[in-house]
Amino acid sequence: MAQRVDSSQPQAHQSPTGFPSLDPRTGEVVAYHQADDDAAVHAAVARAREAAQWWRELGFAQRRRRLLSWRAALTRQLDELAELICAETGKPRDDARLECVLVIAHLDWAARHAERVLRPRRVRSGLLMMHEASSVAYEPYGVIGVIGPWNYPAHTPMGSISYALAAGNAVVFKPSELTPGVGQALAASFAAVVPEQPVLQVVTGYGETGAALCRAGVDKLAFTGSTITARKVMATCAETLTPVVIECGGTDALLVDADADLAAAADAAVWGAMVNAGQTCVGVERVYVTKEVATELTERIVALTRRLRVGGKPTDHIGPITRPEQIDVIRAHIADAVAQGGTALVGGAEAVCPPFVQPVVLTDVPETSTAVTEETFGPTITVHRVADLDEAVQRVNAGRYGLGAAVFSRHRGPQIASRLRCGMVAVNSVVSYAAVPSLPFGGVGDSGFGRIHGADGLREFSRPKAVTRRRFRPLVQVLTFDRPSWAVQLLLRIVRALYGR
C-alpha cells in the first residue's frame, strides 16, 4: 500500500512556535514547521556525514536498487504528493501531477545511469607518458546542501537531489519557507525506503536556515532561486571555499521565424508564459516575431490567452501567485511597460487582483522596460515585432540572463539555436529540454552556472580523481633528481620533432 504523503507528519509541528505554510488560494494554514537554527542545521550535516560514508560504501548497484524503490514509492504516492504541492503553491492539480512525473523520470534516469557515467574509466596517457596507465574516477563529494525555491517545490530541488544521491552523496535539503511540507514529504518518503541512515534530510526555516546550511560544512551547495539570493549564497560559501552550483531565473524568449507553424508557436508562447501563473524559471517572458507574421501570431496569442480560466479551483488553468511579494513586482513591470509606451492587448494594470493575476499580453514594449529586462514571474508576455531573426538573436543575447529559449522555424531552428547565448533551447516546442533527463539543465550569465540533470548533472556532484599507474620503466627517466644530463636534452629533441612543426 502506498505510504501517505502528509505535510503534518511526521516532522511538521502543529504549534504556534513554528512558522506556518499557507495555501495561497485561501490563506489557510497547511501546517506549522519548525525554524531550524544554526545548531540544528549543523547537527543535520553531522548526521549526514556518517550517512554519506555508508551510502558511498553501498556502491552503485545497491544505491540504484534503493533509488529505484524510492521512485516506485513516489509513483504510488503521486496523487498525495501532488495534492500537497497544490496546497502549498496553489497550482492547478494537473500541473502538480505533471511536476511529479518529472520528478519520477529524473530519479529513474539518475539511478539507472550513475554507474555508466561515473565508474572509473581509462584514458590515453599520450606519447610522452606512454609508460603510465591513466584513469579517471568520479568520487562523491560527501554531503551536498540543496537550497530550493517554491515554484516547482518537488521537481526543482529533485533535479539536484536525485543526481547527488545517485552519485553517492548524502543530502541536506532546505526547501523554501513557502513549501516546507513538500520537502518533508520527499524526505519521509525516502526514509521509508532507506531507513538505515539519514541519507536525505530536510531542514526547514527562513533564509537564515539556508545561510546556516551554507556555513555548516557541506562539501558542495546546490542553489536554485533568485539571482539576488544566489549572490548572498556565493558570498557565504566563499568563506569556506565551498563550491556551488547556481540555478537562477531568466527572461526567456521565444523566437518566431517567417516560415514557422504559427498555430504551434502561439500555443507554445501562451502555455510557456502562463503555465504555473508564469512562475517558471524557463517560462516564456518575451516573444520576438519577424514582421511578416507578427500580426497573425499576435492575434493567435491574444485569442488563446482570452480562453484561460484563472482561479483557485484545481481544474482552473492558472492558479494564484504563490509568493505575495511577487505581486508587487508583476504590477510594477506591467506599469513600467505601459508607461514606456507599451500597449496591453489583454489585461493591464487591472489584471492584478491578489492573490490572482489575470493573463496580460503586451506589445510595443521598449527593450529598456523592466518587463523585458527583468524576470516578471507572472502570467505576462511581451510580443516584439523584429525585422528578421538576426535582430531577434541580437536582442535576446543583449540580456544579462541566459537560461532557456525556444525557436519556431521550419528550416533554420538548429542554426538559430546555436547562436543564442543560453543554456538550453527548444526548437519548435517549448521547455521540452527540462523533461529529457539525459540533457544538462542550467544557464549562463545572471541565470547561473553549473549543470543539473543528465551525465553532466551526475558529474556536477562528483569529484574527478586522476590516477596513473606505472606500466614499465621509461627509456628516458626525467622525473627524478638522478636523471642523467642527456635525458632532458633527448626529451627536448623528441618534443621539437613532434610538436615544433
Closest approach of ligand NDP to the CB of residue 173, in Å = 10
In the complex with ligand NDP, the residue whose CB is nearer, 188 or 202, is 202
The answer to whether the beta carbons of residues 32 and 203 sit under 8 Å apart is no
Closer of 81 and 260 to ligand NDP (Cβ): 81
How far apart CA 197 and CA 312 sit, in angstroms, is 40
Rounded to the nearest whole angstrom, what is the least distance from the CB of residue 111 to ligand NDP in the complex? 21
Q: Which of 86, 281, 374, 422 is catalytic?
A: 281
Beta carbons of 343 and 362 less than 8 angstroms apart: yes
- In whole angstroms, the minimum distance from the beta carbon of 264 to ligand NDP comes to 25
| SS3 of 100-138 | HHHHHHHHHHHHHHHHHHHCCEEECCCHHHCCEEEEEEE
Least distance from ligand NDP to the Cβ atom of residue 443, Å: 6
* Closer Cβ to ligand NDP, 66 or 323, answer by number: 323
Which residue sits closest to ligand NDP, CB atoms considered? 210
Tell me the angle at which helices 78-89 and 38-76 cross, rounded to the nearest 10 degrees. Answer: 130
Given its phi and psi angles, is residue 122 left (phi above 0), alpha (psi -120 to 50 degrees) or beta?
beta
Closest CA to 18 of 204, 218, 293: 204
| Residue 169 vs 279, nearer CB to ligand NDP | 279
Calpha distance 343→67 (Å, rounded): 51
Residue type, 237: C
Sheet of strand 404-408: strand arrangement: 343-346, 360-363, 380-386, 286-290, 253-256, 404-408, 424-427
CB of 185 to ligand NDP, least distance (A): 16
Task: For residue 137, give the C-alpha cell.
Answer: 574516477
Contact 270, 306 (CB under 8 A): no
Residue pointed to by grid coordinates 523566437: 255
**Residue 215 to residues 45, 203, 235, Cα–Cα distance (Å):** 10, 14, 11
- Whole-angstrom Cα distance, residue 298 to residue 65? 50
* Residue closer to ligand NDP, measured from CB, 21 or 290: 21
Give every CB contact of residue 394 below 8 A, 6+ residues apart in sequence: none
Catalytic pick from 88, 247, 374, 375? 247
Q: Is 422 marked active-site?
A: no
Least Å distance, CB 248 to ligand NDP, is 6
Strand partners, 470: 132
User: Least distance (Å) from ligand NDP to the CB of residue 230?
Assistant: 7
CB 38 → ligand NDP: shortest distance, Å?
12
Residue 247 annotated to the active site: yes
Nearer to ligand NDP, 151 or 189 (CB): 151
Nearer to ligand NDP, 165 or 452 (CB): 452
Query: Least Å distance between CB 424 and ligand NDP?
Result: 10
Residue 280 or 298: which CB sits closer to ligand NDP?
A: 280
Give whichever of 169 and 176 is closer to ligand NDP, judged by the CB atom. 176
Binding interface with ligand NDP (CB under 6 A):
147-152, 156, 174, 176-178, 206-207, 210-211, 214, 224-226, 229, 232-233, 247-249, 281, 323, 375, 377, 403
Chain centroid offset of residue 105 CA: 15
- Alpha-carbon gap, residue 415 to 172, rounded angstroms: 41
> CA–CA distance from 362 to each of 25, 324, 365 (Å)?
26, 23, 7
d(CA 287, CA 386): 10
On whether the CB atoms of residues 73 and 2 are closer than 8 A, the answer is: yes
Residue numbers annotated as active site: 247, 281
